[in-house]
Structure 1
Amino acid sequence: EEGEIHQLKTEETSWSPSLKNDNIRNLIEHMKIHTAEKPHICDQCGKSFPQIRNLDEHKKIHTLERPYSCDQCGTSFPFKGNLDAHKRIHTGEKPHKCDQCGKSFAQKGNLNKHMNIHTGVKLYMYDQCLKSFTQQLPFNDHMKIHTAEKPHKCDQCGKSFSQKGNLNEHLKIHTEERPFACDQCVKRFIHKGNLNEHMKIHTGEKPYACDQCGKSFARKGAFNDHMKIHTGENLHTCAQCGKSYARKGALNDHMKIHTGKNLHTCDQCGKSFRKSGVFKVHLLTHSRERLYNCDQCGKTFFRADFLKDHLKVHTKEKPYVCSLCGKSFRQMGALKTHQKRHSGVKDHACSECGKTFFTDGALKVHQSVHTTETPYKCSHCDKRFKRSEYLRIHERVHTGQKPYHCHSCGKTFTHFSSLICHKKKCRSEITSSSSSDL
Structure 2
Amino acid sequence: MINMESMANEKSCIELCTNSNTNITDSKPHDNTKVKTLTKEKLLQLCTSSDTKITDSKQQLCTSSKARVQAKRKEKTIQCQECTSTFVRKADLTKHMRTHTGERPFSCQVCGAAFSSVSNLNQHKRTHTCEKPFSCQECGSSFSMNTNLKQHMRVHTKEKPYSCEICGYSYSGMSSLKIHIRSHTGEKPFSCEACGTCFADKSSLKKHLRTHSGERPYSCETCGSTFSCNSDLQIHIRRHTGEKPYSCHVCGSAFTANSTLKKHIRTHTGEKPYSCHICSSSFSENTNLKKHLRIHTGDKKVRDKPYSCQVCEAAFSWTSSLKMHIRTHTGEKPYHCDLCGCCFTNSSGLKKHLQTHTGEKAYSCQICGFACSSNSSLAAHIRTHTGEKPFSCNKCGISFSMNAHLKRHYLTHSGEKPYACDVCSSRFAQTSHLQEHKRRHSGEKPFSCEVCGSSFTTNQRRKQHMRTHTGEKPYSCKICDLAFSFSTGLKQHLRTHIGQKPYSCKLCKSAFSESCELKEHLKIHIVEKPYSCESCGSRFLSRSHLERHMRTHTNEKPYSCEICGSCFSENSSLKKHIRTHTGEKRYSCQICGLAFSESSSLKNHHRTHTGEKPFHCERCDASFIRNADRTRHVRTHTGEKPFSCHECEAAFSDNSSLRQHLRIHIGERT
| Fold conserved between structures, TM > 0.5 | yes
Which residue among 176, 200, 203 is the counterpart of 2:416?
Answer: 176
Q: Per-residue displacement from partner, 1:195-241 (whole Å, max 9, x unpaired)?
A: 45368899796944375x99986642244467689999994432343
Give the alignment's TM-score, normalised by structure 2.
0.41
Aligned partners of 1:178, 1:53: CA distance in 2, in Å?
A: 35
Matches within 5 A, 1:309-328: 309-328=548-567
Shift of 1:359: 1.4
- Provide the residue aligned with 2:69 in structure 1: none
- Provide the residue aligned with 1:361 in structure 2: 600
Q: Per-residue displacement from partner, 1:400-438 (whole Å, max 9, x unpaired)?
A: 22222222222222343433333333443455xxxxxxx
Partner amino acid for 1:130?
A: T
Aligned partners of 1:152, 1:54: CA distance in 2, in Å?
A: 25
- Provide the residue aligned with 2:76 in structure 1: none
Aligned partners of 2:613, 2:428: CA distance in 1, in Å?
A: 38
Aligned partners of 1:358, 1:47: CA distance in 2, in Å?
A: 74
- Provide the residue aligned with 1:123 in structure 2: 233
Q: Per-residue displacement from partner, 1:167-210 (whole Å, max 9, x unpaired)?
A: 577696634326557999x9963345424536889979694437
Partner amino acid for 2:235?
A: M
- Residues 258 and 348 in structure 1, CA contact (< 8 A), matched pair in contact too: no
Aligned partners of 1:250, 1:406: CA distance in 2, in Å?
A: 39
Partner amino acid for 1:392?
A: T
- Provide the residue aligned with 1:67 in structure 2: none
- Provide the residue aligned with 1:42 in structure 2: 191
- Provide the residue aligned with 2:95 in structure 1: none
Correspondence 1:334 to 2:573: yes
Greater RCO structure (CA 8 Å; 6+ sep): 1
Distance 1:124 1:20, change over 3 A: closer
- Provide the residue aligned with 1:163 in structure 2: 321
- Residues 135 and 143 in structure 2, CA contact (< 8 A), matched pair in contact too: no
Residue 136 of structure 2 aligns to a residue whose secondary structure is: helix
Partner amino acid for 2:449?
A: A
- Residues 134 and 143 in structure 2, CA contact (< 8 A), matched pair in contact too: no
Matches within 5 A, 1:16-35: 22-25=145-148
- Residues 285 and 302 in structure 1, CA contact (< 8 A), matched pair in contact too: no
Partner amino acid for 1:412?
A: A
Aligned partners of 2:601, 2:218: CA distance in 1, in Å?
A: 67
Shift of 1:278: 5.2
Distance 1:13 1:256, change over 3 A: same
Residue 409 of structure 1 aligns to a residue whose secondary structure is: coil
- Provide the residue aligned with 2:460 in structure 1: 221
- Provide the residue aligned with 1:113 in structure 2: 219
Aligned partners of 2:501, 2:436: CA distance in 1, in Å?
A: 28
Partner amino acid for 1:319?
A: P
Partner amino acid for 2:537?
A: G
Q: Per-residue displacement from partner, 1:234-279 (whole Å, max 9, x unpaired)?
A: 9443234322236655433222233444332335456543333554
Which residue among 496, 499, 504 is the counterpart of 1:265?
Answer: 504
- Provide the residue aligned with 1:436 in structure 2: none
- Residues 476 and 484 in structure 2, CA contact (< 8 A), matched pair in contact too: yes
- Residues 220 and 233 in structure 2, CA contact (< 8 A), matched pair in contact too: no
- Residues 41 and 48 in structure 1, CA contact (< 8 A), matched pair in contact too: yes
Q: Per-residue displacement from partner, 1:58-80 (whole Å, max 9, x unpaired)?
A: 59x9xxxxxxxxxxxxxxxxxxx
Aligned partners of 1:114, 1:324: CA distance in 2, in Å?
A: 61
- Provide the residue aligned with 1:251 in structure 2: 490
Residue 123 of structure 1 aligns to a residue whose secondary structure is: helix
Aligned partners of 1:49, 1:285: CA distance in 2, in Å?
A: 73
- Residues 349 and 357 in structure 1, CA contact (< 8 A), matched pair in contact too: yes
Aligned partners of 2:556, 2:519: CA distance in 1, in Å?
A: 29
Shift of 1:321: 3.3
Q: How many residues align?
A: 355
Correspondence 1:421 to 2:660: yes
Distance 1:384 1:196, change over 3 A: same
The worse-fitting range, judged by mean Cα deviation, of 150-159 and 380-389 is 150-159
The worse-fitting range, judged by mean Cα deviation, of 145-154 and 375-384 is 145-154
Shift of 1:117: 1.0
Distance 1:14 1:357, change over 3 A: same
- Provide the residue aligned with 2:642 in structure 1: 403
Alpha-carbon RMSD: 5.6
- Provide the residue aligned with 2:449 in structure 1: 209
Aligned partners of 2:603, 2:464: CA distance in 1, in Å?
A: 28
Shift of 1:358: 1.5
Partner amino acid for 1:125?
A: I
- Provide the residue aligned with 2:262 in structure 1: none
Aligned partners of 1:428, 1:298: CA distance in 2, in Å?
A: 31
- Residues 419 and 428 in structure 2, CA contact (< 8 A), matched pair in contact too: yes
Partner amino acid for 2:628?
A: E
- Provide the residue aligned with 1:378 in structure 2: 617
Shift of 1:363: 1.3
Correspondence 1:14 to 2:130: no
Residue 396 of structure 1 aligns to a residue whose secondary structure is: helix
Residue 422 of structure 1 aligns to a residue whose secondary structure is: helix
Partner amino acid for 2:137?
A: S
Distance 1:27 1:415, change over 3 A: farther
- Residues 307 and 317 in structure 2, CA contact (< 8 A), matched pair in contact too: yes
Matches within 5 A, 1:143-154: 152=305
Aligned partners of 2:473, 2:667: CA distance in 1, in Å?
A: 61
- Residues 265 and 273 in structure 1, CA contact (< 8 A), matched pair in contact too: yes
Partner amino acid for 1:357?
A: F
Aligned partners of 1:20, 1:266: CA distance in 2, in Å?
A: 76
Which residue among 429, 433, 440 is the counterpart of 1:190?
Answer: 429
Q: Per-residue displacement from partner, 1:341-374 (whole Å, max 9, x unpaired)?
A: 4443322222321222121221122223213333
Partner amino acid for 2:533?
A: C
Aligned partners of 1:243, 1:224: CA distance in 2, in Å?
A: 21
- Residues 531 and 539 in structure 2, CA contact (< 8 A), matched pair in contact too: yes
Aligned partners of 1:227, 1:196: CA distance in 2, in Å?
A: 22
Aligned partners of 1:359, 1:146: CA distance in 2, in Å?
A: 60
Partner amino acid for 1:349?
A: S
Aligned partners of 1:312, 1:182: CA distance in 2, in Å?
A: 38
Give the alignment's TM-score, normalised by structure 1.
0.59
Distance 1:183 1:365, change over 3 A: farther
- Residues 133 and 144 in structure 2, CA contact (< 8 A), matched pair in contact too: no
